[in-house]
Structure 1
C-alpha cells in the first residue's frame, strides 16, 4: 500500500461524551512524526471511484445484502409450521410466541430489536389485506395470534421511527412470566450413563438454567483445567441459587364478575397455591440436577484423589523422619518420663512433710494450751476472767506462728510439768530468748500484761 500522506500527530488522550463533544483527559505529550498509510474498505472504495471502476459499489452492495440474508436465516425461522398457522387467538396462552414471530432459534436470547423485526416481517406476510389480494380470502386468525404476541403502538413514517409495544414479549414482566414456563428453551441433563463430553453437555444445561438468575455474572461449569477454587465457587453459587422464575403465566383467569367476588377471591387463592407448589417443585428439581452433576464431575474425584495422595505423602515423610532419629526420640522420651516421675516423687514427699508438720503443730498447740490451762493462764485469782484467757491464748498463738522452728525444745520442757511456777519460768525464759533474738518485738508489752 503506498504512503499517501505524512502528518505530524501530537500524542494525547481524549474522550467523547454522550452528546458527541470531546474532553481532554490528560496533557498532550511530545510531538512525534508518523507515517499514515491509506488502508481499509473505505480507501478501496475511494480508489475504485477514482479509477472509474463503479462496479465496486454494486459488488459491495450485493455482498452486504447476501450477508444480511445469511444473518436473517440464522436468526429467524425459514419456514412456518402448519401447526403454528392453525393457532386459535382465543387460546393465546397455549401458543408459542417465539415461534409465531419466527424466533424459535433465539427464544429468551432474542433482543427487543429481534422481536420488532420479527413482528414487522410477520405483519407484512400475514396481514389480512395482503392475503385477500393474494388468495382472495379473509382468514385473519394467525394475524390475531401475531398481534397477541406483540402489540403495535405507533408508526411515524416521516421520522423513520416505529415504536412497538408488546403485550408479552416486549413487556419485561410478562416476558419473564412466559420465559419461566417456556419448556422449549430448557436443556435437559444427560443420563448418568453418558460420561462422554461431560463439560459440553452439562455446560449447556447450566447455561439454560442461568437465565433465571438474579445474580450476575453467573459462573460457568468450566473444564478439566479449572482450579479447585473455581469449581467450589461454581457449586456454592448453584446450591445458593437466587432465582426469579415464577409461574404466574399458568394462572387460570379470574372471573371478571363484580357481582360474585367470592369466586374471584377463591380463584386468586387457588392460583397462589399452585404457584407456590410449582416453585417448590422447581427448586427441588434444580437441587437434584446439581447433585447429579456433582456426583458425576470428574474434577471432584480428581481433587479427592489429590488430597488423599497429599495426606499419604505427608504421613510417609513423617514416618521417614521418625526412622532417621529413633535414638534421639527415645532419649527425649526417657528424659521426659524421668522428669515426670521425679516431679511426682517430689510432690509426694512435700505432701507427706506437710502432713507431718500439721500433726506436729497440732500436738504442740495442744501441749501449750494444756500448760497454760494448768497455770491458770498466769492469773493470781481463782477464776480467770475470759478476756485474760483470750489475750493469753492470742499471745501463745503468735509465739507458735513466729517461732514454729524452735518449739520442739520448748514443748519437751512443758511436757509433764504440773507446777505453775515451773510453767511460768519456762514461758518467761523462752519469751526472753525470742526477744533477744528479735523474733517477736510485739510481745514486750503483752508479756508485762500477763506478768511474764
Structure 2
C-alpha cells in the first residue's frame, strides 16, 4: 500500500502470507501515518482551516518579503566608535536597524549583520586599500558585539530595557488638561511594550464604555512589566577572580536592579494616576454615578414619602375612629357624671339640711347642758357628728330628737357620739399598729445583730444624730466617717461599723412618731438636767397672743403630715370634691382638720423672725454667735444660727434672718407661745455686759 495515501497496513494474524491468502478475505487493522495526517492534526488543534504547511509557507514568504523590503540605515558614527566602549553604543544603529529597533525580527537582525559584514569586514576594506587597525581595536568589533547582543534573546531583552531612544517622561496634569487623548495615548502605547501580557487594552476615546475604561485602568494599576536593568550592571561577575567576589558582585547588582525596578514601577504608577485624574471620562462617569445615586435617592425618598403618607392616612383614620369612640364614651361618662352629680347634690343638700336640723335640735335643747364648758364640748361633738355621720344616720338621729323627750334625745345623741369616738380611736390604733409594724420590718431588714445594733444608749443616739447632721450627704465615705466619729467621741466604748450606723439611721427614720417624741423628750430632759433652767429676765416683754376659740385639738403626727402633703400633691386645686378626697387619704382626720392644717402650714411662710442683740460698752472687736432652736412637743423642729461682728464704738447691732422651715407640726398656728432655746457665745471671751431682747414675730 502506498504511503502517499497516508495509510499503512499491517497483518492481524502471523500467517498473513500463507498460500491460501487469495482464497478468502483477510481482516486487517490500519493506522493513520504520514506528513499529511500530521498536517491534519495540527490544523485541528489550531482550529485552522488551511494546512499547517500552507501557514508555514505563508509565514516564510511574509518574512522574506519583509527582508526584501527592509532598508538598512547607514550609521555615520560607525567608524568613530571605540571598541572598548561597546557597551554604551546603540546596537540597533550599528547594524543599521535604528529605525526598526525592538520590532526587528531575528531574520532581519541576521540579514542586517550579513550586510554589514559584507561591507565593513576588515578583509574587504583591506582589499579596497582602507586602513585597518589590528586585533579588537578595529571598529568592526563593534558590529560583532552588536550582533552578539541582539542575536541572544536574553541579552537583547536586557538592552531593550535600557533602550537609549525610549522616552521615559510622564505627562503632567496641566499638559493634558485640554487634550487628554492626544497627550496620553502615545505614552501608553510606547509603555505597553514592557507588558508581560499580550493584548494590552487601548486608552480609547470619549465614546468608550465604562467597562472598557475600567478594564484599562485595572490593567495599568496592576501592570506586570518585564523590564529589567541588568544591562546597567557596573560590575561583570565574569571578571571576578573567585567565588566570593562573584557573589558580592551579584549581590550589588541585584540591589541596584531592585532599586531601578522600584523607580520604574513608581513611574508607571505616576503615569496612571495622572491619566486617571485628568481623564474626562472618569469625571463623566462620576457625574453619571452621582446623578444615578441622586435619582435612586429621590426615588427611594419618594417611595418612602408615599409609604409614610399611606401610613399617616391610615393612622389618621384610626385616630378619627378612636376619637369618635372616645367622644362617645366621654359623652356617656359625662351623662353619668351629671346624673351622679345631681344625685350627689341632692344628697349634699339633704345632708346639709339634716346637719342644720341636728344643730337646731341641739340648740333647741340648749345642747343638753347647763354648764358653759360642757355646752362648748357638746357643740364640738355635734360638729364632729355632722362631719362624720352619713345621711341615713343623721335622719334617724334627727327623727329621734324631734319625736322624743329631752332625756331620750340626749341618750341617743351621747350614744352616737360614743360610737363616733370609738371609730376614731380604732382608726388611730390601726395607723399606729401599721407604723410599729413598719418600724419592726425596717429593723429586721437592716440585719440588726452584733454589737453595732445593740446597746444604743441615749448618748449614742444623740451622737449619731449630731454626726449625721455634721457630715451631710455627699461626703466621701460618709458612713465610715460617721462611724469613726462615733467611735472617737462615744463614752460607751462600743465600736460601731458603717453597717451598724446605716442600719440604726434607717431605723430612726422609720420610727413611730411617739417613739421620736420620747427620744426628743429624754434628750431635752437631759439637757435641762445638765445645764439647768435658764433664768427668766425680770423685764421680759409679754408674748403676743391671737384671740380665738380654744378647742381640744389633737396634734398632727409626722405620718399624718406626710399623708396630707402627698394628698395635696395627688389632688390639685381643680379636682372636684378635693378636700373630701384629701380627708379620705388621711385616716382619723376630717375635712375641716385637713383644711385647718393646710392654712396653718401656709401661714407659717408669711412670717419672718427678728433678733435684736445689744452689746454695751464694747471696747474690742467681739463676735456674737446666736443659736435659736425651736422645738415643739410631738413635732420636728428647726434651728437657725447667726454670727454678728461688732467693732469698737458700736453699742447696738440689729440683724434680720429667716429660718429654714420645712413644715410646722404644732397644729395651733403662729399665735401659739413658742419655746426658744437661745445660746450665746462671745469670741473672744466676754468682756462686758450683754443684754438680749426676747424674739418676736413680725409680719412682712
| TM-score between both structures, scaled by the size of structure 2 | 0.34
Indicate if the aligned counterparts of 1:181 and 1:249 stay in contact, CA closer than 8 A: yes
- The 1:99–1:331 alpha-carbon spacing in structure 2 relative to 1, beyond 3 Å, is same
Give the CA deviation at 1:179.
Answer: 0.9
**Structure 2 partner of 1:194:** 175
Query: Is 1:72 equivalent to 2:54 in the alignment?
Result: no
- Residue 249 of structure 1 corresponds to 231
Question: How far apart are residue 326 of structure 1 and its match?
Answer: 7.3
Query: Which sits farther off after the overlay, 328-337 or 308-317?
Result: 328-337
Change (3 A) 1:336 1:96: farther
Q: Which of 161, 164, 174 is the equivalent residue of 1:183?
A: 164
Alignment of 1:154-165 (within 5 A): none
Residue 124 of structure 1 pairs with residue 122 of structure 2: no
- The whole-number CA distance in structure 2 between the counterparts of 1:18 and 1:172 is 34
RMSD: 3.5
Select 2:268's aligned residue among 286, 293, 302: 286
Q: What is the CA–CA distance in structure 1 between the aligned matches of 2:296 and 2:191, rounded to whole Å?
A: 42
Output one character per residue of 1:328-386: Cα deviation in whole Å (capped at 9) or x when no partner. 35224668999xxxxxxxxxxxxxxxxxxxxxxxxxxxxxxxxxxxxxxxxxxxxxxxx
2:94 maps to what in 1?
100
Whether contact under 8 Å (1:108, 1:185) holds in the other structure is no
Give the SS at the match of 2:174.
coil
Would the alpha carbon gap of residues 218 and 334 (structure 1) be closer, same or farther in structure 2, given more than 3 Å must change? farther
State the distance in 2 between where 1:325 and 1:261 align.
Answer: 83
Distance verdict in 2 for CA 1:332–1:128, change over 3 Å: farther
After superposing the two structures, state which structure 1 stretch, 317-326 or 185-194, moved more. Answer: 317-326
Among 72, 76, 80, the residue aligned to 1:81: 76
* Distance in 2 of aligned mates of 1:315 and 1:127: 79
Cα separation, 2, equivalents of 1:98 and 1:283: 26
**CA 1:326–1:141 in structure 2 vs 1: closer, same or farther (change >3 Å)?**
same
Deviation at 1:321, TM superposition (A): 5.9
**8 Å CA contact retained: 2:237, 2:246:** yes
Asked whether the 8 Å contact 1:213–1:243 carries over to 2, the reply is yes
Identify the residue that residue 238 of structure 1 maps to in structure 2.
Answer: 220
* Distance (Å, rounded) in 2 between the aligned partners of 1:18 and 1:242: 43
Greater CA drift, 84-93 or 174-183 = 84-93
The aligned residue for residue 313 of structure 2 is 331
Q: CA contact under 8 A between 2:237 and 2:250: conserved in structure 1?
A: no
Q: 1:219 aligns with which of 174, 180, 201?
A: 201
* Local SS of the residue matching 2:200: coil
CA distance in 2, matches of 1:258, 1:185: 32
Give structure 1 stretches of 5+ with no counterpart: 1-16, 27-66, 151-166, 339-452
Deviation at 1:206, TM superposition (A): 1.8
* 1:310 partnered with 2:292: yes
Tell me what 1:145 maps to. Answer: 142
Check the 8 A contact 1:221/1:231 in 2, yes or no: yes
Alignment coverage as a number of residue pairs: 262
Residue 101 and residue 233 in structure 1: after superposition, are their counterparts in 2 closer, same or farther (change >3 A)? same
**8 A Cα contact 2:229 2:260, kept in partner:** yes
Deviation at 1:210, TM superposition (A): 1.9
Measured in 2, the distance between the counterparts of 1:81 and 1:337 equals 101
Could you say if the C-alpha distance between residues 266 and 315 of structure 1 is closer, same or farther in structure 2, counting changes exceeding 3 Å? closer
CA distance in 2, matches of 1:69, 1:261: 45
Question: Structure 1 residues 337 and 293, CA, compared in 2 at 3 Å: closer, same or farther?
Answer: farther
In the TM superposition, what whole-angstrom CA distance separates every residue of 1:161-188 from its partner, at most 9, and x where no partner exists?
xxxxxx2212111111111111313363
Per-residue deviation, residues 229-260 of structure 1 (Å, max 9, x unmatched): 11111111111112222111111234656765
SS in 2 for 1:294: helix
* In 2, Cα distance between equivalents of 1:99 and 1:191: 31
Does the Cα contact within 8 Å between 1:107 and 1:185 map onto a contact in 2?
Answer: no
Q: Which residue of 1 aligns with 2:190?
A: 208
Report deviation, 1:270.
1.5
8 Å contact kept, 1:187–1:208: no
Question: Which blocks of at least 5 consecutive residues in structure 2 are unaligned?
Answer: 1-32, 45-64, 321-700
Shift of the 237–337 alpha-carbon distance from structure 1 to 2, 3 Å rule, reads farther
Q: 1:276 aligns with which of 248, 258, 267?
A: 258
Matched residue of 2:150: which SS? Answer: coil
Distance in 1 separating the partners of 2:139 and 2:319: 96
On the 8 A contact 1:103/1:118 being kept in 2, the answer is yes
C-alpha contact 2:109 2:151 (8 A) present in aligned 1: yes
Q: Deviations over 1:262-301 (max 9, x none)?
A: 4433322211211111111111111111111111111111
Task: Give the greater-gyration-radius structure (CA).
Answer: 2
Going from structure 1 to structure 2, the CA distance change for 1:232 and 1:126 (only over 3 Å counts) comes to same
Query: Contact 1:252–1:267 at 8 Å: present in 2 too?
Result: no
In the alignment, the residues of structure 1 paired with residue 128 and residue 168 of structure 2 have an alpha-carbon distance, to the nearest angstrom, of: 41
Distance 1:258 1:289, change over 3 A: closer
**CA–CA distance in 1 between the matches of 2:138 and 2:286?**
61
1:216/1:312 Cα in 2 relative to 1: closer, same or farther (>3 Å)?
A: same
Q: Are 2:128 and 1:134 aligned?
A: yes
What SS does the corresponding residue of 1:224 show, helix, strand or coil? coil
CA gap of 1:128–1:332, structure 2 versus 1, over 3 A, is farther
For residues 5-55 of structure 1, what are the alpha-carbon distances to aligned partners after superposition, in whole Å with 9 as ceiling and x for unaligned?
xxxxxxxxxxxx9946775999xxxxxxxxxxxxxxxxxxxxxxxxxxxxx
Q: Distance in 2 between matches of 1:282 and 1:334?
A: 70
CA distance in 2 between partners of 1:262 and 1:177 (Å):
25
**Compared CA separation, residues 327 and 219, structure 1 to 2 (3 A):** closer
